[in-house]
Amino acid sequence: MNPRWRILHTESSLGWGGQERRIMAEVGGFGRRGCDVWVGAPVEARLHQRAQVAGFHTVPLGTGKLQFPFSVLKLAAWLRRERIDILSPHSSRDAWIAGIAGRLARVPLIVRYRHFDVPIRHPWMSRTVYGTLADHVITTSPRITETLRGLFRLPESRVSTIATGIDLERFHPEGPKAQLHFAGLEPGVPLIGMVGIFRRAKGHPILLEAAARLRKEGFAAHYLLVGEGPMLEATRRRVQELGLQSEVTFTDEREDIPEILRSLSLLVMPSLHEGIPQVGLQALACGTPVVGSDVGGIPSIIRPGETGRLVPTEDPAALASRIREVFAEPEETRRLSAQGRRLVEQEHGLERMLDRVQEIYLRSLGGLAGVPG
């Protein structure tokens, strides 16, 4: 029997991406395991809205600077009233609010998450968030773990690397493909895609530069860019500047990601910064070939000669070469894709992720924590 912990995850971001999807996966997973779970986010945040649609309990989270003292006190009172056992902040701003509120309310366990492999701008301030205001830290890649341990001198026992788990039944090589009908997609022409939020760190312009090179070399392909985000319009302009309008198709955020991935000939992740990207694991689970940048946590899952191909970051010429290689070596590509699926099955399933998080809870709280008495 699983302990019935009372768990709150907080997130100050208004957008929707891998970080927010991770929260929904954990909340849903521990809800199924019998825990009482809540999502704390600004009411205008897409996470707050999606959590409500999914039937999860939600807590409005104020994140404005002028609201800070009030938000802390209000959340601390709520934490005490609801007798929360585990508090999990996910972003910078809510980490301060939730961390201080959690200490005021004497929450037994505060687990801070770190999702991205990006430089920490103010280590002297962040030391408090990852040390004083957190009992444990969960990161999404070994490289992030190494950075935090070195920067803040955290003992190994206080930092764990747990990548986001994948639903292996939903993300599977066998299954329907997305019905994609758009100009320029000809039979037999490879469909190369990126799936995710449009922001600088994802490296969309690098793929476009590679696409322009490939076209000059006579390599025919079509490119599908799925998602929304702050760099969307800039990416559209870059497509026009490179004259790639007939070869690039944009589609808004989609929910049929397994079907999209099964439709792609290749997924590309030319990231500048990254943890372990969920879409990379999802693609491997679907048997879709993957080429990714040699940054952050990508090499943890895209292993040269084992599960996929890597390229140096911000190198369109190298990316173009690797894309050609994927289609020039079909047997090798199929071998890598098959091993990628096995890697996800063995190490990155959803239930495996939940088990590993639960192990941290049990070590910290004991098996009886959270059981109503």
One domain, residues 331 and 353: no
Residue 372: which pLDDT band, with cuts at 50, 70 and 90? very low
One domain, residues 124 and 195: no
263, 288 contact by CB (below 8 A): no
Neighbours of 128 (CB within 10 A): 15
Number of domains into which the chain is organized: 2
Domain-embedded: residue 224: yes
Please give the full DSSP string across 164-204, using - where no structure is assigned.
PPB-TTTS-SSS-------TT--TT--EEEEES---GGG-H
Task: Give the model's pLDDT for residue 81.
Answer: 98
- Phi, psi angle pair for 171, to nearest 5°: -95, 100
One domain, residues 196 and 286: yes
One domain, residues 153 and 215: no
Domain-embedded: residue 214: yes
Q: pTM (2 decimals)?
A: 0.86
Tell whether the model's pLDDT for residue 370 goes beyond 60.
no
Task: Give the model's pLDDT for residue 1.
Answer: 61
Domain-embedded: residue 219: yes
One domain, residues 353 and 299: no
Residue 184: which pLDDT band, with cuts at 50, 70 and 90? low
Q: How far is CA 115 from the centre of its chain?
A: 7
Window from 59-63, 240-244, 329-333, 363-367 with minimum mean pLDDT: 363-367
- Residues 268 and 190: their CA atoms lie apart, in Å, by 13
One domain, residues 285 and 358: no
Q: For residue 35, give the CATH number of its domain.
A: 3.40.50.2000
One domain, residues 200 and 233: yes
Range(s) of the domain holding residue 235: 191-347
More confident residue, 44 or 373: 44
Q: Residue 55 region, left (φ>0) first, then alpha (ψ -120 to 50), else beta?
A: left
Domain-embedded: residue 308: yes
Neighbours of 16 (CB within 10 A): 19
Residue 121: which pLDDT band, with cuts at 50, 70 and 90? confident
One domain, residues 142 and 225: no
List pLDDT tens digits, range 18-77: 899 999 999 999 999 999 999 999 999 999 999 999 999 999 998 777 789 999 999 999
Give the H or E element holding residue 50: helix 46-53
Domain-embedded: residue 370: no
One domain, residues 53 and 142: yes
One domain, residues 124 and 214: no
Domain-embedded: residue 1: no
One domain, residues 329 and 272: yes
- Phi, psi angle pair for 195, to nearest 5°: -130, 120
Domain-embedded: residue 113: yes
Tell whether the model's pLDDT for residue 217 goes beyond 80.
yes
One domain, residues 205 and 336: yes
- Residues 18 and 185: their CA atoms lie apart, in Å, by 28
Domain-embedded: residue 34: yes
